Amino acid sequence: MMDEEEALQRIMVVREAFMVSPAGDSKPTLRNARFLNPIISSDAKSTDHHVSDSNSKALSSSFSAVPPVFEPKNWPMKIETLWWRSPPKKWVHWLDTLYPKYASMWKKVGILDALMSTKCNILKTNSSMELYVGVAEKWCPETNTFVFPWGEATITLEDVMVLGGYPVIGGPGFTARKDEEMKYIEEKLISGRKEAGRSKQNKASMSAWMGVFMDSGKEIEHEAFLAAWLSTFVFPNGDLIAKSVFPIAIQLARGVSIALAPAVLASIYRDLDLLKKAIVGVKENKVVEKDVKLQVTLRSPFHLVQVWVWERFKNLQPPQPKVIKSGEPIVTRWHEVKPAKLENVRAALNSSVDHFLWRPYARLASGKYKVFYPEHEKWIQLGKDSDSVKELEAYASCLRVSELVGFGSDSIVKQYLPNRVALQFGLDQDIPACVQRLDKSEAMAWENYCRPISERKLYFPSRLFEADVTSGYAEWWKNSVLCNFDPAIHIAQHKKRAGFSNIAALLNKAKRKTSDAEIPDVPPGFAPKNDRKEAEGNCDADVPAHKVLNAANSSEDCGATTRHPGKLISDEEGKNLSSSAASTADYGAAGEPLQQKEKVVIILDDDSESEPSMVAMEEDFSGENGTREQEMSSEKVNHSGNEGEGHGYSSDLHIMVQVEERIRRLENQLATVYKTRKIRHI
């Protein structure tokens, strides 16, 4: 019998359990189920469940850490991106010119799809920005997952590999051994960068770089091409060519594989952290200063987040994705496809339990990824004699908990927790356990990521298989996570699903325990049970806002946190301000005279390589935002019970009016979603 340590090293665990559908349309069924390690067995003793408590609090606090009304266009927040969306014609020409000579090399090192996808134009519109904010609201920095009313989901290594085309296995990107030839090539690239810096633009911009190397026939043109790709599309550096990518470009040109996927995913997690931090800042400050803007600069290939949403949320997809040809990157489906206009992204995400695709790539019955999605379940032997050895090892890396090492001066390490989203791999879900961090150094984290695979064979479920959750997981989700979810949304979803017509009864139910954020009979997405007992006691209080904002300073072993705390920088003083408390003073609102121009507070992480410009926003929020501030403040419903205790009948009535108004808005939004769904079915 294998010991406990060996069992934890295994990717999967198989045991018998009572399973229910994630959509709540089935009765518990006892069967053999396959889970991703590590989990807390739902039939274990109740004393073991405290292991997951810290993450439960973090998940539940995600619901209450956002502004009460979803209107990002009226929030004092600006989002900037450093990556190109529309590929320049010169870049496409350079790519097509080098393709015949180096395509086989690019395929060998695993970057062919990633390079070819740069020819795609993923449109960025106002709807895109609202989509970013909507999904970032659901982000939990402690677990690196999106928290929806119906469960957890996240961007995984599988998504970065399939959608982005980045290699999952290979050498580290944060360090490289340099021999004499590599040093010589790097000196040539540095010299070319100086030459580009002497252009009319007076900087080593992408256009100036192409002017130096494109179609030049120079011996290092291939390395220069890869350096341009890495600086612009993989680790965006604005319009500048970064010297830090030169060692990676040289190794790729030599045919050495580099694991770019974990570094890209770490950068996406970092940007989601920053965006969530800005959203929390908007909520905590209640938009009290019209001359203050929160600016977030996204430095990852963040368009993958948009494509990830489109691939998985049917109710958020553009109406007409393109049909891809054999051999084309999957992201080609969304080339120049205009995003759909949505009235309220938050409402659409909350009501998407029937629209979410857990395994969108399972439709891939051909191509290099077909081995991951077989027609029938199978076990595949891992070994030197296996076909597609690299692909199998890459997929195994997607399934196991690990540390993701970032790239460049960011020096970030993010925790990767696929055990929380096993349904995305066609596997069953039980209560996830916390995982101790191994992030004291980049070397330690990398050793954890590329540790040997303990399994001799790997299980692949049928691409048509629909995985389930344990009944214990459903109970845990209800009692430990949904505590702080908006009761108005609970009522609206319950009413829509059950067909209730008496809204007065529902409002009375909300009124009875408004201060306690009453847990509904069942969580959205799970079948109601008439014999379910009332949950006893109040759920854990909200995590204080300063802990959400300063999650990086947490010393707990559990949870996925970056090793460098965030900071706020004022454009007026240029000094670092602490983000440990989300007070008005942090954003320059207290003790300062009102300025004619709006100030920008840039939210970023430590050791940032880029230096964003302090651009004053021209939009004026003086009139509308003053009204919005009062509205947002008046609409806030107390969930924790720590404020407003002992309120009288007038306060009750005021809350009832607020809840009724919110339900009315939610019903209108849900009606639009369901109407669209019916039309599609017809």
User: What is the per-residue pLDDT across 443-478, written as a single tens digit (0 to 9) for each?
Assistant: 999 999 999 988 888 999 999 999 999 999 999 998
H/E stretch holding 539 reads none
Phi, psi (degrees; rounded to nearest 5) at 33: -125, 155
Distance CA 442, CA 451 (A): 14
Are 602 and 571 spatial neighbours (Cβ–Cβ below 8 Å)? yes
Task: Give me the helices (H) in 230-290, please.
Answer: 246-253, 260-285
302: which 2 tokens? Answer: 């963040």
315: which 2 tokens? Answer: 């109710």
101 Ramachandran zone, left/alpha/beta (phi>0; psi -120 to 50): alpha
Residue 328 half-sphere exposure toward CB, CA atoms < 13 A: 13
206: which 2 tokens? Answer: 């992408």
Number of H helices, E strands in the chain: 21, 17
pLDDT in tens, 210-245: 999 999 999 999 999 999 999 999 999 888 999 999
For residues 558-570, give the mean pLDDT. Answer: 39
Predicted pLDDT of residue 281: 87
pLDDT for 613 beyond 50: no
Banded model confidence at residue 422, pLDDT cuts 50, 70, 90: very high
Are 616 and 600 spatial neighbours (Cβ–Cβ below 8 Å)? yes
310: which 2 tokens? Answer: 């489109």
247: which 2 tokens? Answer: 């060692």
Distance CA 98, CA 111 (A): 14
Distance CA 511, CA 516 (A): 10
In this structure, the number of other CB atoms found within 10 A of the CB of residue 572 comes to: 12
Distance CA 142, CA 415 (A): 9
For residues 111-140, give the mean pLDDT. Answer: 92
Distance CA 551, CA 61 (A): 12
Which residue type is seen at 495? K
Banded model confidence at residue 26, pLDDT cuts 50, 70, 90: confident
H/E stretch holding 35 reads strand 29-36
591 Ramachandran zone, left/alpha/beta (phi>0; psi -120 to 50): left
More confident residue, 5 or 562: 5
Banded model confidence at residue 126, pLDDT cuts 50, 70, 90: confident
Phi, psi (degrees; rounded to nearest 5) at 170: 145, -165
H/E stretch holding 292 reads strand 292-298
280: which 2 tokens? Answer: 């929390």
The vertex-236 CA angle with 138 and 255, nearest 5°, equals: 115
pLDDT for 194 beyond 80: yes
pLDDT for 347 beyond 80: yes
Phi, psi (degrees; rounded to nearest 5) at 178: -115, 120
Could you say which DSSP state residue 616 is in? P
Predicted pLDDT of residue 543: 32
- Per-residue burial over 527-560, b = 16 or more CB atoms within 10 Å of its CB, e = otherwise: eeeeeeeebeeebbebbebbbbbbbbebeeebbb
Could you say which DSSP state residue 51 is in? G
DSSP 308-329: HHHHHBGGGS-S-PPPPPTTS-
372: which 2 tokens? Answer: 């991951």
Distance CA 176, CA 246 (A): 10
Distance CA 223, CA 248 (A): 9
Predicted pLDDT of residue 623: 34
pLDDT in tens, 649-667: 334 444 544 555 566 666 6
Length of the chain: 682
- Which stretches does DSSP call E strand in 394-472? 402-405, 413-416, 431-432, 457-460, 469-470
Predicted pLDDT of residue 363: 83
pLDDT for 440 beyond 60: yes
pLDDT for 370 beyond 50: yes
Residue with tokens 């010589």: 184
Distance CA 344, CA 188 (A): 52
More confident residue, 15 or 663: 15
Which has the minimum average pLDDT: 29-33, 423-427, 469-473, 544-548? 544-548
In this structure, the number of other CB atoms found within 10 A of the CB of residue 175 comes to: 12
pLDDT for 629 beyond 80: no
More confident residue, 17 or 611: 17
Predicted pLDDT of residue 327: 84
More confident residue, 526 or 217: 217
pLDDT for 574 beyond 50: no
Percent of the chain scored above 70 by pLDDT? Answer: 65
Predicted pLDDT of residue 50: 43
For 439, the 3-state DSSP assignment is coil
Predicted pLDDT of residue 531: 39
In this structure, the number of other CB atoms found within 10 A of the CB of residue 503 comes to: 15
Task: Give me the helices (H) in 47-179, please.
Answer: 53-64, 89-109, 112-116, 126-137, 157-162
| Peptide bond connecting 452 to the previous residue in cis, omega within 30 degrees of 0 | no
Task: Give me the helices (H) in 286-315, please.
Answer: 303-312
Predicted pLDDT of residue 68: 86
Are 144 and 560 spatial neighbours (Cβ–Cβ below 8 Å)? yes
In this structure, the number of other CB atoms found within 10 A of the CB of residue 176 comes to: 16
Mean pLDDT, the chain, integer: 74
pLDDT in tens, 133-178: 999 999 999 999 999 999 999 999 999 999 999 999 999 987 766 7
Tell me the torsion sign for CA atoms 636, 642, 643, 649: positive
CA 495 to chain centre: 30
In this structure, the number of other CB atoms found within 10 A of the CB of residue 668 comes to: 13
Distance CA 598, CA 572 (A): 11
DSSP bridge partners of 379: 459
pLDDT for 512 beyond 50: no
Predicted pLDDT of residue 527: 41
Q: CA dihedral defined by 438, 439, 440, 445, rounded to 10 degrees? A: 80
Predicted pLDDT of residue 41: 74
Task: Give me the helices (H) in 501-641, please.
Answer: 503-512, 545-549, 622-635
Phi, psi (degrees; rounded to nearest 5) at 193: -65, -40
Predicted pLDDT of residue 307: 95
Banded model confidence at residue 5, pLDDT cuts 50, 70, 90: low
pLDDT for 118 beyond 60: yes
Distance CA 540, CA 558 (A): 17
Predicted pLDDT of residue 600: 60
Kindly give, in sequence order, each residue whose CB lies less than 8 Å from that of residue 428, ignoring residues fewer than 6 positions away: 17, 19, 33, 34, 35, 422, 467, 468, 469, 470
- Which stretches does DSSP call E strand in 555-623? 566-570, 576-578, 599-605
pLDDT in tens, 318-345: 988 888 888 889 999 999 998 888 889 9
Predicted pLDDT of residue 368: 77
Nearest to 401 by CA among 428, 372, 421: 421
pLDDT for 57 beyond 80: no
